[in-house]
Amino acid sequence: MFKVLVSDPISDVGLKSLIEDPMVDLTIQTGLEKEQLLNIIGNFDALLVRSQTKVTAEVINAGKNLKVIGRAGVGVDNIDLDAATDRGILVINAPDGNTISTAEHAFAMLISMARNIPQAHGKLKHGVWDRKNFTGVELNKKVLGVVGVGRIGAEVAKRAKAFNMDILGFDPFMSQERAEQLGITLASVEQIFEKADFVTFHTPLTKETKYMLDKPQFAKMKKGVRIVNCARGGIVNEEALYDAIKEGIVAGAALDVFEEEPAVGNPLLELPQLVATPHLGASTEEAQLNVAIDVAEEVANVLHGKGFKNAVNLAILPEEDFAELKPYLKLGQKLGSLAAQISTGRIEKLEITYAGNIADLKCEPLSRYIIRGLLSYHLADDVNYINAYKAAKSKHVEIVESKTHTSKGFANLVSISVKTANEYIQVAGSLLNGYGAKIVNINGYTVDANPVGNLLLAQHTDKPGIIGIVGTMLGEADINIATMQVGRKVAGGDAVMVLGVDKRIPEDVVKKLEAVSGINSIFNVDLQN
């Protein structure tokens, strides 16, 4: 008998497959305090949640019998994935079921904000017939910036088209063809922030998207811009948003998600320009039914040892499948991540070459790590070992793998080339006897860098003084250089500098480095995870 605990409100009609499963003993107990959950979780084989239950490492470790955690929805930021993976517990989600509901909610927020509907409604309910303080704006012919054109962003764009809005969109995986299909004009995030009358966010919260709309960006926006965030709290800096509303830069904001939830007592709620809902994007009968059906079926499949498709973390595969490859897996993931972080255009193609000894191994598991490293920089936990090829296909990234025994003097060499809409990136790594994993080549320059921590990659002209200037500027910013590598092809030509630094370089320092004469590009690379 499998014992399954449902600890958040999940549609019981959707849970039918589990309720009717003779092998499943289902307990529904919502609103549990932390201690209560810790006390009972040890009895269960599976846990089903939405976003309220905090599935921390403590909860996971107390769940001695846990085999699977199911998330009836998309975001898994309330689940400690590393702790689950360490314990070999599968985490699965239901990414498709609430797309339409969330897109409709974002659009409802956009319109209510444009026409002050919640504010006027509130006043009338309190007996005040106020027709002069609630003049709104039309959506017709206004510029809508859509940041993140995945499942939800694309549906929002379709609805905005029907309202005759001009749509600018940015997504690192959106092609010109897809943009045309959706009636979107491709633009950079900076262009969107500068030109849009309305901006709506539909990205996950990642290192890259955290505070992507902050004080410096607000300063460049059109006066009177209106902001919608129904994705994740933290994409927009709430303190900066508060100031931008007070300063009159932002005329309205519509938020369904907050940096801290429940957001009771949030200072933004005091502002009349704010329209807010308590994380209701997915709260429709239809979405809740869809996600409950999806997650219940997947959890039952896992418990019965059958196939599943929406694993979010690393499934523990039999050792023999990749025992020999194991030492290369982390290196592969870091090479993918490095390539993503030093590319600027939409990723179109990934070519992986396995050279030397490694060519004799069955390399598919390693390719999955490389793809995961490359795509997770933008897609966060949406891409994992299991779904790596599927995620690449769904984002129209072509994967080409090849093997050779010619390995340029290395015993083994893993090389990846990434073709983007703007450039062609090449990075290679090797496991060196006695030295461990190394990055040995970046864009044709021979280097010897450790694939760990924070790196600064500068492409520059090989001339006296540049290395000194970079060192001085980092020193002034209190950033210690741990390692340094310089590579060039010919004296006086193009060169690369790879610095291992003890902490992440702040963006203002990066901007100053970019402005140094002779430096052509700077990338602030994070290879910590």
Ligand X SMILES: NC(=O)c1ccc[n+]([C@@H]2O[C@H](COP(=O)([O-])OP(=O)(O)OC[C@H]3O[C@@H](n4cnc5c(N)ncnc54)[C@H](O)[C@@H]3O)[C@@H](O)[C@H]2O)c1
Residues binding ligand 3PG (CB under 6 A):
50-51, 73-75, 98, 279, 281-283
Residue 341 sits in the site that holds ligand X (CB under 6 A): no
Residue 334 sits in the site that holds ligand X (CB under 6 A): no
Supply the DSSP string of 350-402, one letter for each residue. EEEEEEEGGGGS--HHHHHHHHHHHHHHHHGGG--TTTHHHHHHHTT-EEEEE
- Taking alpha carbons only, the member of 246, 372, 266, 251 closest to residue 315 is 372
Residue 169 sits in the site that holds ligand X (CB under 6 A): no
55 and 49 Cβ atoms separated by less than 8 Å: yes
Task: Give the residue with the Cβ less far from ligand 3PG, 263 or 495.
Answer: 263
Q: Whole-number minimum distance, CB 283 to ligand 3PG, in Å?
A: 6
Inter-CA distances, 237 with 61, 205, 314, 399, Å: 33, 12, 31, 36
Q: For residue 107, give both structure tokens.
A: 């659009």
279 and 82 Cβ atoms separated by less than 8 Å: no
169 and 149 Cβ atoms separated by less than 8 Å: yes
Task: Give the residue with the Cβ less far from ligand 3PG, 34 or 306.
Answer: 34
Q: Which of 50, 71, 151, 279 is catalytic?
A: 279
Q: For residue 52, give both structure tokens.
A: 């309220």
**Which one among 81, 89, 147, 458 touches ligand X, defined by CB under 6 A?**
147
Q: Which of 71, 232, 368, 378 is catalytic?
A: 232
Task: Give the residue with the Cβ less far from ligand X, 158 or 512.
Answer: 158
Find the binding residues for ligand X in span 197-216 (CB under 6 A). Answer: 202-204, 206, 208-209
Binder of residue 202, out of ligand 3PG, ligand X, none (CB less than 5 to 8 A by kind): ligand X
Find the binding residues for ligand X in span 436-475 (CB under 6 A). Answer: none
Q: Whole-number minimum distance, CB 371 to ligand X, in Å?
A: 14
Task: Give the residue with the Cβ less far from ligand X, 25 or 214.
Answer: 214
Angle between helices 99-114 and 285-303 (to 10 degrees): 150
Q: Which of 261, 324, 348, 401 is catalytic?
A: 261
Please tell me the count of residues contacting ligand X according to CB under 6 A: 33
Q: Whole-number minimum distance, CB 165 to ligand 3PG, in Å?
A: 25
Which residue, judged by CB position, is nearest to ligand 3PG in the bound state? 73
Site string for ligand X, 280-299 (x = CB under 6 A): -xx-----------------
**Segment holding 9, helix H or strand E:** none
Burial 112-122 (b: 16+ CB within 10 A, else e): bbbbbebbbee
DSSP percent split of the chain into helix, strand, coil, nearest 5: 35, 25, 40
Inter-CA distances, 48 with 76, 231, 281, Å: 12, 22, 19
Q: Does 261 qualify as catalytic in the annotation?
A: yes
Query: Which positions are catalytic?
Result: 232, 261, 279
User: Residues in the site for ligand X, rule: CB under 6 A?
Assistant: 74-75, 95, 98-99, 102, 147-148, 150-153, 170-173, 202-204, 206, 208-209, 230-232, 256-257, 279, 281-282, 378-379, 382
